[in-house]
Amino acid sequence: MDIRQSITGHTKIVGVIGSPISHSRSPQMHNAALSKAGLDFVYVPFHVSTDAIDQAIDGFRSINVIGINVTLPHKQTVIPFLTSISHEADLIGAVNTLSFLDDGIYGENTDAPGFLRAMNDNNIAIPKGKDVVVLGAGGSARAIVVALALAGVKSITIVNRTIPKAVSLAEELSKKINKKNGDNSLDDVVYNTNGTFDTVITGIGFEDIHLPNAINTCAMLVNTTSAGMDESLPLLINPDWLESETIVYDIVYTPPITKLLKAAKEKGCSTIEGIGMLVHQGAIAFERWTGVKPCVNTMKNALLIK
Ligand code: ATR
């Protein structure tokens, strides 16, 4: 049935805000899973400009919206309008999911646990106590470095084209995370909640002489740079540095199998595609708002429909 024919005065509203928003695939992903679960909810995209964020939040609260996803450019600017935020969101400095509760608005960042849950879904163990290399130092890298450090990896080498960004991100997160470790309010499916970790985080450039060895000896290599979206660009690293035991995770999901993942498969590595993180960050928000675990395959299939 056409989703519009089932909307009544009882239907609960969730959605996403951003600017631009028309490209967002979240409505198709969430509405497919809401229908599949038989929930009387609808997920709506809202274009909200930067200067209207406070009015939008007030409006959502007054019309009893249940929850809102937050995308660019509001992931940081929305924080002052919230009542409380999660431990991970505080470390990352950005939120992507709001829940409108009786006692206020709660913000969290589901990218971090979504990244790790997608590994579980692929039956690939999180490399706790091992070394990881992360390519990129932007917003996605921040969430992933926090996720991996809270999960208890031994070291994270952040590699970025603009070296000072890698160095400052590494310094900032080292101080914040290792100071705050041992938090046991975290999701114990994916995190190391016994508080024994102390992750060494460093930032370097792609020309650094230590990079080949860092990649050669790491348990996992993660690409967070948007470079993977453009197949005409050369690979940022030499795939000959990879060992077949290394997990290679590319969070880029267009194309589904990036040049890096193709090269990694040729080397015999286990690979993880970016669509899983996209689905799982949405699934965690869905469960928060509805109290029901969504069908992740329904979400994934909905994203694959052009
Ligand atoms: P996101 O939120 O997806 O992480 P972002 O914050 O804009 O997006 O970060 C994009 C990342 O991709 C950055 O690390 C960027 O490197 P710079 O900090 O040097 O800009 C990286 N990136 C984008 N295009 C790249 C390219 N062609 N080569 C190498 N790195 C690239």
Task: Please state the rounded mean pLDDT for residues 157-178.
Answer: 94
Residue 5 CB neighbours (<10 A): 7
Pocket test for ligand 1, best of 96, 161, 236 (most atoms within 8 A of CB): 161
Task: Please state the rounded mean pLDDT for residues 147-175.
Answer: 96
Measured CA to CA, the distance from residue 5 to residue 9 in angstroms comes to 12
Angle subtended at Cα 245 by Cα 242 and Cα 247, rounded to the nearest 5 degrees: 75
Measured CA to CA, the distance from residue 219 to residue 228 in angstroms comes to 21
* Spatial contact of 250 and 274, defined as CB atoms under 8 Å apart: yes
Task: Please state the rounded mean pLDDT for residues 276-290.
Answer: 98
Phi and psi at residue 220, in whole multiples of 5°?
-150, 140
Residue 201 scores a pLDDT above 60: yes
Residue nearest to atom 7 of ligand 1 (CA): 138
Length of the chain: 306
Ligand 1 midpoint to CA 124 (Å): 26
Q: What is the pLDDT of residues 32-70, one digit of tens each?
A: 999 999 999 999 999 999 999 999 999 999 999 999 999
pLDDT at res. 230: 87
Q: Is 58 exposed, middle or buried (0-12, 13-18, 19+ CB in 10 A)?
A: exposed
pLDDT at res. 267: 97
Three-state DSSP state, 251: coil
| Alpha helices (H) along the chain | 26-37, 53-62, 87-92, 111-121, 139-151, 163-180, 211-217, 259-266, 275-290, 296-304
Ligand 1 midpoint to CA 237 (Å): 15
Where residue 282 falls among pLDDT bands split at 50, 70, 90? very high
Phi and psi at residue 136, in whole multiples of 5°?
105, 155
Residue nearest to atom 16 of ligand 1 (CA): 161
pLDDT at res. 3: 77
Pocket test for ligand 1, best of 72, 92, 211, 226 (most atoms within 8 A of CB): 226
Measured CA to CA, the distance from residue 112 to residue 146 in angstroms comes to 7
What is the number of the ligand 1 atom nearest to the C-alpha of 251?
A: 3
pLDDT at res. 183: 54
Residue 207 CB neighbours (<10 A): 9
- Using a 6 Å CB cutoff, which residues line ligand 1? 136-141, 160-162, 165, 224-227, 233, 236
Residue nearest to atom 14 of ligand 1 (CA): 136
Task: Please state the rounded mean pLDDT for residues 263-280.
Answer: 97
Q: What is the pLDDT of residues 99-118, one digit of tens each?
A: 999 999 999 999 999 999 99
Where residue 228 falls among pLDDT bands split at 50, 70, 90? confident
Ligand 1 midpoint to CA 235 (Å): 14
Residue 43 CB neighbours (<10 A): 26
Residue nearest to atom 5 of ligand 1 (CA): 138
Residue 195 scores a pLDDT above 60: no
Residue 158 scores a pLDDT above 80: yes
Q: What is the mean pLDDT of the chain?
A: 93
Task: Please state the rounded mean pLDDT for residues 109-138.
Answer: 96
Residue 130 scores a pLDDT above 70: yes
Residue 8 scores a pLDDT above 80: yes
> To the nearest whole percent, how much of the chain has pLDDT over 70?
93
Residue 187 scores a pLDDT above 70: no
Q: What is the pLDDT of residues 63-92, one digit of tens each?
A: 999 999 999 999 999 999 999 999 999 999
Ligand 1 midpoint to CA 163 (Å): 11
Where residue 24 falls among pLDDT bands split at 50, 70, 90? very high
pLDDT at res. 305: 86
Q: Is 154 a catalytic residue?
A: no
> To the nearest whole percent, how much of the chain has pLDDT over 90?
87
Task: Please state the rounded mean pLDDT for residues 145-153.
Answer: 94
Residue 192 scores a pLDDT above 90: no
Residue nearest to atom 21 of ligand 1 (CA): 225
Residue 179 scores a pLDDT above 90: no
Measured CA to CA, the distance from residue 87 to residue 293 in angstroms comes to 22
Pocket test for ligand 1, best of 23, 70, 95, 225 (most atoms within 8 A of CB): 225
pLDDT at res. 229: 87
* Spatial contact of 114 and 280, defined as CB atoms under 8 Å apart: yes
* Spatial contact of 111 and 140, defined as CB atoms under 8 Å apart: yes
